[in-house]
Amino acid sequence: MSAPIYLGVIGVGGVGTAFLQQLARLPNAPKLILLARSSQTLLSPTPSYSPAIPATDYQTASSTPSLTKSGALSPEEIASFLSSAPGRSILIDNTSDPKLAASYPVFLRKGISIVTPNKKGFSSDLSLWKDIFSSAAQGNALVYHESTVGAGLPVISTLRDLVNTGDEVTRIEGVFSGTLSFLFNTFAPVSGASGAKWSEVVSQAKELGYTEPDPRDDLNGMDVARKLTILARIAGLEVQAPDSFPIESLIPTELASLPSTSEGTATFMQRLPEFDAQMAEIKESAEKEGKVVRYVGSIDVGKKEVRVGLQKFDKDSAIAGLKGSDNIISFYTRRYGSNPLIVQGAGAGGDVTAMGVSADLIKVVQRLQ
Amino acid sequence: MSAPIYLGVIGVGGVGTAFLQQLARLPNAPKLILLARSSQTLLSPTPSYSPAIPATDYQTASSTPSLTKSGALSPEEIASFLSSAPGRSILIDNTSDPKLAASYPVFLRKGISIVTPNKKGFSSDLSLWKDIFSSAAQGNALVYHESTVGAGLPVISTLRDLVNTGDEVTRIEGVFSGTLSFLFNTFAPVSGASGAKWSEVVSQAKELGYTEPDPRDDLNGMDVARKLTILARIAGLEVQAPDSFPIESLIPTELASLPSTSEGTATFMQRLPEFDAQMAEIKESAEKEGKVVRYVGSIDVGKKEVRVGLQKFDKDSAIAGLKGSDNIISFYTRRYGSNPLIVQGAGAGGDVTAMGVSADLIKVVQRLQ
């Protein structure tokens, strides 16, 4: 009934692979005509844009006969390929590449919609944010990025619904990092029973794959700061950059100058125990007030304040009671009054992040049809 | 740029009035051409369908010059009026009228989309549910009903995203009634400090306007059962009717035969203290296990079981810690594993219910454009 819609997908890592599995099972899925990993690209041959690429892992897809194979293409080349397809097209960016994100306006102005869990486009300089949304309007294209905050949890969509229907969001607060949630739920549980040292908890999380390969990428708070930047902008604050507000880093000052190499990471992990007493003191000072310490982000819309860092919480609070690596996000608004609207659950992981991407894709397809 | 979209609104009670206020402030709002309350209808004159009706309360709107005024119109007449408008049209049903809900297929087959907080269409006989969605497909029309469960909370949309992206929902559990949430949070708080008798709590809630005019309409559990019916059907269970599963009524058997008149209500409230000892016993038996009693609904998708009634919860559980008249809904799925995706917040009230309607309307307009 409707004209076919064409799809390009970049990135076949954890999220990208989970997304392809979900795409393969979507009814009325758009036609996959471009699939790219870092140095290689699969394309449906022009001018027919047929056959479509099967939604499987890259290796299997690449064995499909009669697909065009190429090295890495520039964003301009990809945009040109997609916009020449005989119908509306959508680009899914399943990378965390800042360069690709900086090119979203190129795609959008050509009428190519964007769906992505990549935070970079929405949390870097404010000028890029503005360029993305004005380019989308200009190209009559759509931008959906639910999975940039809280993975598949309905965070962005809920905030947009609040704003679009005229509610006044006064405050947003929560635990926005699955990694830091796990670290503090383990280090300072509500039961108070953990005797684990901070450095041990970090090591354990690293071994379990709960942290980035370099745990400093979690501990520096920048991932949380990027998420807060996105939410603050949707709530109406003109946050210039993800580091234009206070961010409490959990990397000790003494270790801040270690290089971002694997040797740097090794030295960091080796020297982290020197700071266990410091973290124990923070934990115990909260304990004395009957509280627990958590790493949170908060946005006070009225005061135009964004903060990321450690905070003490009553043991019976929702934030204190969080389990595993769950996120929790509380929206305080005029309509909801003193009890916030709360969304809680796993905020990281390939499957749930891909779910946010797939759900966005379905909505974009529905709007383009 | 886009063709205009036309809107008919039925119902100007609490939700209807709050909705009209939100509609008045929506950018790119569709053109309001029909506004109806129980016995009266305002219409934009045909064939021009102009001027539009201002989005204000009924009384003010009715003083607009050159509108057509009529008595109550039948669903068929309304459908005929809307489908003759020179563009796509949407009907907003802000009533709780089962007759209007039974007519949704008439509208949908004529291509008129439906947005509503009215539970009746989706929670009555399964045949009506099926007729609604097959009529929508036939008429290429849309049906959005977020506010039928949890008011403006993202419950329906979240469940549909989970299902549509191929997750397997195994269990849904929660507190689905703001009224029953308030009653039990007050009667059996986690602190255990309340000495209030059950009948006193019910009287207080009635005076505060937290219950329906006849509190038996809350206490019989049917409102919760209707919400569970809707969620269970979206999750894939063929629930025949809202009373085709166990519903624990909080109306004592001895009072079940009182008539549904205001005299019946008065007698019910007067005799309720006779059952205070019974409710105190339920509360104390939970206390002895270190738990609190709550009125919850649950759906076990695998076992195809739906239940509504009292249940005991650990004091540190999210359900026990609920405040005020908040709802909480937990989705257990394959992807989310042992920690559910949770949505929590006010699940009743004119403003937040209207917000769900407005957010749905925005989405329908985006898809029709």
Tens of pLDDT, residue by residue over B258-268, are 999 999 999 99
What share of chain A has pLDDT > 90, as a percent?
92
Domain count, chain B: 2
Chain B interface, best mutation among A25, A317, A333, A335, by max B CB count within 10 A: A335
CA–CA gap between residue A333 and residue A244 (Å, rounded): 24
Q: Is residue A124, in this structure, part of any structural domain at all?
A: yes
Q: Are residues A208 and A235 in the same domain?
A: yes
* Residue A275 in tokens: 């700071």
CA–CA gap between residue B72 and residue B67 (Å, rounded): 15
Q: Is residue B131, in this structure, part of any structural domain at all?
A: yes
Q: Is residue B213, in this structure, part of any structural domain at all?
A: yes
Which pLDDT score, from 0 to 100, does residue B313 have?
A: 95
Written as one letter, the residue type at A174 is G
Computed over every residue of chain A, the mean pLDDT equals 95
Contact B154 A152 (CB under 8 A): no
What's the pLDDT tens digit per position in A238-276? 999 999 999 999 999 999 999 999 999 999 999 999 999
The answer, for B314 touching chain A at a CB cutoff of 8 Å, is no
* Annotated binding-site residue? A119: yes
> Residue ranges of the alpha helices (H) in B65-173?
75-83, 98-102, 104-109, 120-123, 126-139, 156-164
Residue B194 has pLDDT above 80, yes or no: no
Chain centroid to CA B332:
22
Q: Which of B162, B345, B355 sits opposite A339 (nearest CB)?
A: B345
pLDDT band at B74 (very low <50, low <70, confident <90, very high): very high
Q: List chain A residues with CB under 8 Å of B316.
A: 190, 316, 321
Q: Which of B164, B337, B355 sits opposite A359 (nearest CB)?
A: B164
Which chain B residue lies closest to A332 (C-alpha atoms)? B345
pLDDT band at B209 (very low <50, low <70, confident <90, very high): confident
Contact A352 B359 (CB under 8 A): no
Which pLDDT score, from 0 to 100, does residue A316 have?
A: 81
How many CB contacts within 8 angstroms connect chain A with chain B? 115
Contact A343 B343 (CB under 8 A): yes
Chain B interface, best mutation among A115, A163, A165, by max B CB count within 10 A: A165
The answer, for A163 touching chain B at a CB cutoff of 8 Å, is no
CA–CA gap between residue A195 and residue A210 (Å, rounded): 20
Which structural domain, as residue segments, surrounds residue B93?
6-152+351-368
B227 is known as an active-site residue: yes
Q: Is residue B1, in this structure, part of any structural domain at all?
A: no
The answer, for B191 touching chain A at a CB cutoff of 8 Å, is no
The answer, for A365 touching chain B at a CB cutoff of 8 Å, is no
Q: Is residue A239, in this structure, part of any structural domain at all?
A: yes
Which pLDDT score, from 0 to 100, does residue A318 have?
A: 86
Interface of B with A in 196-235 (CB under 8 A): none
Q: List chain A residues with CB under 8 Å of B152.
A: 161, 335, 341
Q: Are residues A169 and A134 in the same domain?
A: no
Which pLDDT score, from 0 to 100, does residue A209 have?
A: 84
DSSP A339: S
Residue B158 has pLDDT above 90, yes or no: yes
Q: Are residues B102 and B200 in the same domain?
A: no
Residue A54's domain is classified under what CATH number? 3.40.50.720
Contact B339 A316 (CB under 8 A): no
Which pLDDT score, from 0 to 100, does residue B210 have?
A: 86
Contact B362 A324 (CB under 8 A): no
Q: Are residues A233 and A250 in the same domain?
A: yes
Per-residue pLDDT, averaged over A266-293, amounts to: 95
Which sequence positions of A are flagged as catalytic? 227
Which chain A residue lies closest to B337 (C-alpha atoms)? A346
Q: Is residue B24, in this structure, part of any structural domain at all?
A: yes
CA–CA gap between residue A246 and residue A248 (Å, rounded): 7
CA–CA gap between residue B196 and residue B200 (Å, rounded): 6
Which pLDDT score, from 0 to 100, does residue A22 have?
A: 98
DSSP string covering A8-73, please?
Answer: EEE--SHHHHHHHHHHHH-TTPPEEEEEEETTEEEEPPTTTT-SPPPSS-HHHHHTSTT-EEEEPP
Residue B192 has pLDDT above 80, yes or no: no
Residue A367 has pLDDT above 80, yes or no: yes
Which pLDDT score, from 0 to 100, does residue B195 have?
A: 82
Contact B346 A339 (CB under 8 A): yes
Q: Are residues B64 and B160 in the same domain?
A: no
Q: Are residues B340 and B363 in the same domain?
A: no
Per-residue pLDDT, averaged over B155-177, amounts to: 98
Residue A1 has pLDDT above 70, yes or no: no
Which pLDDT score, from 0 to 100, does residue A3 have?
A: 82
Q: Are residues A164 and A144 in the same domain?
A: no
Contact A345 B344 (CB under 8 A): no
What's the pLDDT tens digit per position in A108-141? 999 999 999 999 999 999 999 999 999 999 999 9
pLDDT band at A191 (very low <50, low <70, confident <90, very high): confident
Q: Are residues A162 and A216 in the same domain?
A: yes
What angle (nearest 5°) sits at the alpha carbon of residue B82, between those of residues B81 and B84? 70
Q: List chain A residues with CB under 8 Å of B345.
A: 336, 339-342
Q: Which of A154, A335, A336 sits opposite B154 (nearest CB)?
A: A154
> Residue ranges of the alpha helices (H) in chain B?
14-25, 58-61, 75-83, 98-102, 104-109, 120-123, 126-139, 156-164, 178-187, 198-207, 216-219, 222-234, 262-271, 276-288, 350-368
pLDDT band at B317 (very low <50, low <70, confident <90, very high): confident
> Residue ranges of the alpha helices (H) in B140-213?
156-164, 178-187, 198-207
| Residue B268 C-alpha, separation from nearest chain A C-alpha, in angstroms | 32
* Annotated binding-site residue? A60: no
Strands B305-314 and B143-144: unpaired
* Annotated binding-site residue? A146: no
Q: Are residues B357 and B300 in the same domain?
A: no
DSSP A121: H
Which pLDDT score, from 0 to 100, does residue B61 have?
A: 94
Interface of B with A in 166-185 (CB under 8 A): 166-167
Residue B1 has pLDDT above 80, yes or no: no
Q: Are residues B138 and B196 in the same domain?
A: no
CA–CA gap between residue A202 and residue A276 (Å, rounded): 11
pLDDT band at A281 (very low <50, low <70, confident <90, very high): very high
Q: Classify B94 as helix, strand or coil.
A: coil
- The answer to whether A318 and B318 have CB atoms below 8 angstroms apart is yes
The answer, for B161 touching chain A at a CB cutoff of 8 Å, is yes
Which pLDDT score, from 0 to 100, does residue A195 have?
A: 82
Q: Are residues A224 and A80 in the same domain?
A: no
Contact A345 B358 (CB under 8 A): no
* Residue A233 in tokens: 């902008």
Which pLDDT score, from 0 to 100, does residue A321 have?
A: 87
Residue B52 has pLDDT above 70, yes or no: yes
* Residue A228 in tokens: 């807060």
Residue A288 has pLDDT above 60, yes or no: yes
**Strand ranges (E), chain A:** 6-10, 31-37, 40-43, 68-71, 89-93, 113-115, 143-144, 169-175, 291-300, 305-314, 326-333, 341-346
Which chain A residue lies closest to B366 (C-alpha atoms)? A367
pLDDT band at B208 (very low <50, low <70, confident <90, very high): confident
Residue A257's domain is classified under what CATH number? 3.30.360.10
The answer, for B367 touching chain A at a CB cutoff of 8 Å, is yes
Q: Which of A157, A165, A352 sits opposite B336 (nearest CB)?
A: A352
Computed over every residue of chain B, the mean pLDDT equals 95
Chain A interface, best mutation among B146, B165, B365, by max A CB count within 10 A: B165
Residue A210 has pLDDT above 90, yes or no: no
The answer, for B342 touching chain A at a CB cutoff of 8 Å, is yes
Q: Is residue B43, in this structure, part of any structural domain at all?
A: yes
Q: What is the ipTM of this complex?
A: 0.96
Active-site entry in B120, B227, B283, B291: B227
The answer, for B321 touching chain A at a CB cutoff of 8 Å, is yes
- The answer to whether B248 and B363 have CB atoms below 8 angstroms apart is no
pLDDT band at B3 (very low <50, low <70, confident <90, very high): confident
Which pLDDT score, from 0 to 100, does residue A317 have?
A: 85
CB atoms within 10 A of CB A346: 25
Q: Are residues A178 and A308 in the same domain?
A: yes
DSSP B254: G
- The answer to whether B232 and B239 have CB atoms below 8 angstroms apart is yes
Contact B341 A153 (CB under 8 A): yes
Which pLDDT score, from 0 to 100, does residue B178 have?
A: 93
Per-residue pLDDT, averaged over A231-244, amounts to: 97
Q: Is residue A1, in this structure, part of any structural domain at all?
A: no
Q: List chain B residues with CB under 8 Å of A344.
A: 341-344
